[in-house]
Amino acid sequence: MIVPMKHITVVSVITDKLKTIESIRDLGTVHLSFGESETPEFRQARHEYDEIRQADNILRHLHKPLAPSASAAHVSRRIYHDIAKSIDQQPAAVRGSMEHKIEAVIDLDEQRRHICDQLFKLKKICERYKPFGEFDPELPRQITKSGVQIKLFRYSLHRQLSLPEDLMIKYFGEREDYRYGVLIGEGQLPEGCEELPSPPARLSEMLNRCAEAQARIAYITERLGNAAERIDFKPEIERLCDFCCFIAAHDSAHTNENLVWISGWLPGEEQERLLEKAHEKHWGVLVRDPLPGEQVPTLLRPPRGFKPMQSLFSALGINPAYNEADVSVPFFCFFSIFFAMLVGDGGYGAIILLLTLWSAHRFRRAPRAPFTLLKVFAGATIVWGALSNTWLGFHPAFLNNPASAWLTNAETGNGNMMLLCFTLGVAHLSIARIWNAASLFPDSKFLAEIGWVGVLWFMYFTAGGVVGVLPAPGTAMKAVLAVSILMIAVFMLKKSELKSEGANLGMLPLTIISSLGDIISYVRLFAVGLASVKVAENFNNMALDLDMHAVFKIPCMIIILLLGHALNFAMAGLSVLVHAVRLNTLEFSNHKGITWSGFAFTPFKRNCDKC
């Protein structure tokens, strides 16, 4: 359910402003709508919070390889000498006060990233001059001063370039679609040739400098790693987060000469607690219901067994609006089915289950909800694998059953799978419309929702008839369609709504036709699931059909199977994120009237005991 909300305004005397805000925070049940303050105190607190978050992220992501910044693409000839200064710079020590530790971590990270950028540039220079081999860069300049012109150059192999025969040219090979050479003596390079300046140092010296830079980056990273083992920024992050929220709440309160008042949202069930606190603190309190069109935070409270769905909604960044419905139960049930069908393999489900059990044991302090969800999804996938007799791309004959015979029959299996997908689709969407009808009853609009159920079932038989898995709609179903359309047209709008929402009535024919697309959309469960199974089968066949000696065949088989199934496993996870989420948040939600335009109820409360 979506918890009913009350809009509250707390009024106190101006001298008790701080105490009032502290008491509201201690209550921990009021959602305050406040943005970022513009006061110097808030900006300073926010700056400190951003810095410590930056330092914390640096230490948390040390395992990720460094990548050069976008600006590092420019190649400078001074880089050979500049990188030496960066390498010789003394790294900051991560000790002292929290402020000094944060500053040192950020400085160390900036230093290693700067060296990484310089190293990238120097490597570019090395790559450019590698074809010329080892030589003293002063030598061409000295020869030129003695009267013999020396020019290093390159030109693209994709250009049709003819060099004059009277030029004395020595070629040094080809690299990255370029031919490299040296012009000796008088003459001009023809158009299309790029003259190269002398390198800043010998190739061996530049390569040594690159090795020193890499060693320096490794040394700084090691120091940061040691700091990560000793420092825990989390308590300070929580304290600064609380402090920023408190200042923002303080600055958002309305005041006049004598009074201060602050408004927010409160779950209706917490109203008595607020009134008791108001009586104790001598506050004035105004409580009212939300007004039409008012932006109200959404507090979801699904049935006990479906509470883990809140973690999935949070991960997806979606929330139903306050005036919509909590669809956690159908979302959970159908998402589990879609997950199983899209992954399509009981062996993968077993792997997911084992990884989930290991992760739950390894990260005991982590929230339990995501692990619970994954266990259910893995269990559903194992059940689907048993029904379809699919285990890591194999179909053991001794595990055949009536369900697998129906789903994988050589002649009718594909049709049966499409029939199952269409049936799931019409059931899913019918639940949405019947739910709407039950919510609207006894308003006459509920009849329009019943009409939509009839339209959906007509489209179900139409889709099945098109692919030959169901008989085409007969006279009875056509009569159902006619009656359903009439019910929708007559009862979808009140007379008073015709002026403001009459356009919806004009769009009715397109909306009815689009419902056919909604039903057909569920066939993606068959198509994507079948693709996953076929990819697994092909990798298995590729590994088993290797024609080589057993000594070489076994390791090659293992590599092919591991890489192939790992790729297929990753693609299955991606398909779940795309297709299972879409069928719930688009097709089903459109019919249920869920826009996912809400925002979560976030009470103003103390998260850190030190703040």
Q: pLDDT tens digits for 39-91? A: 888 889 899 999 999 999 999 988 888 888 766 655 666 787 788 888 888 88
Structure tokens, 478 = 């056509």
User: 344 pLDDT exceeds 80?
Assistant: yes
User: 266 pLDDT exceeds 80?
Assistant: yes
Q: How confident is the model at residue 279 (pLDDT cuts 50, 70, 90)?
A: very high
Alpha helices in 441-497 (DSSP H): 445-467, 475-491
Element (H, E) at 520: helix 508-521
Summarize the confidence of residues 248-254 as an average pLDDT: 88
Q: How many CA atoms lie within 13 A of 93 on its CB side?
A: 3
Domain ranges in the chain are: 138-198, 325-393+403-592
Alpha helices in 364-443 (DSSP H): 369-388, 402-407, 413-440
Q: How confident is the model at residue 501 (pLDDT cuts 50, 70, 90)?
A: confident
Distance between first and last Cα of the chain:
33
What is the pLDDT of the chain when averaged over all its residues? 89
Inter-helix orientation angle 203-230/40-60, to 10°: 110
254-255 and 178-184 strand pairing = unpaired
pLDDT tens column, 87-136: 888 888 888 888 899 999 999 999 999 999 889 989 988 888 888 888 88
State residue 200's pLDDT score: 86
Q: Is the model more confident about 347 or about 550?
A: 347
User: 610 pLDDT exceeds 60?
Assistant: no
pLDDT tens column, 305-314: 899 999 999 9
Range list of β-strands (E), 216-358:
254-255, 259-267, 284-288
CA distance 224 to 55: 10
CA distance 45 to 247: 9
Q: Which pTM value belongs to this model?
A: 0.79
State residue 545's pLDDT score: 83
Q: State percent of the chain over pLDDT 90.
A: 54
